[in-house]
Amino acid sequence: MWTLSGFSDEISPDLEEQVSLVTKLGMSYVEFRSAWGINVLDLDDDQLARAAEVLDTHGVQVSSIGSPIGKIFIDEDFTEHLRRARHAVEVAHRLGAPYVRIFSFFIRPAQDPDDSRDEVLRRMRALADVAEEGGVVFLHENEKEIYGDIPRRCVDILESVGSPNLRAAWDAANFVQVGVHPFSEGFAAIRPHLEYVQIKDAHLSTGEVVPAGRGDGEVVETIRALRRDGFDGFFSLEPHLSQTHSLGGFSGPELFTEAWRAFTTLLDAEGIEYR
């Protein structure tokens, strides 16, 4: 049975409002990116304790820490960022999350991403070491404009680093927005590394983000293939239906519910059980 989660800060900045809607939709997991307008890695000890209490009160668990680790340019200082990655592991332990989402560094617009390969791999290896030492799994998301924004470079990272603690988070919309047909051009190569699925769709012609199944993200083909090969993991709603920015997006309660309904309608049509 597949497990639904979601970036609940797309519902509201207020954590109580987030978990209230999540539980109303029958979900018992969230992907924790921010609360009260504060990024999860910037919450202080008291705020983390309050967050844990709110989640526990509502019976909601955390599937992954939606961290911004790796969302700096490849030529920016890495030392402080690595310390922040260690803090992300601490936060994951604090909130009981097995995963932390990360990225493979923005590339300057005039720069060929392949020219940064060695430095990207050095940094990703260091991040994998942090994950291994902390006993969590870092999930590399294929964000646009980072090194790993197309399937070839995603696979390069995962195979070159070769760590069981560095795996792939699949984001179909992000692939679409860099001109890739996700399932047709990327699924087979990434599937051996795929650990976690983010649910977001988009149009190739405009890049506009839309609910699952209404764009060019080949969502139905992907879930059919995952069911065939026995995938059993998290599917995290990241709708981005109202606002999108470099550190995330926002949808609001109604659009988040629309995104949930669009995806669960696809699952129901395919006869896939979920919780």
- In percent, the amount of the chain with pLDDT more than 70 equals 97
Residues 175 and 217: beta-carbon distance below 8 Å? yes
Domain ranges of the chain: 3-270
For β-strands 248-250 and 243-245, DSSP reports them as: antiparallel
In the predicted model, is pLDDT for residue 250 greater than 80? no
pTM exceeds 0.85: yes
pLDDT digits (tens, 9 = 90+) for 188-220: 999 999 999 999 999 999 999 999 999 999 999
pLDDT value for 240: 73
**Residue 129 to residue 121: CA distance in whole angstroms:** 12
User: Between 245 and 155, where is the model more confident?
Assistant: 155
Q: How many residues does the chain have?
A: 275
Contact 224, 217 (CB under 8 A): no
More confident residue, 241 or 154: 154
Give, in words, the CATH class of 3-270: alpha beta
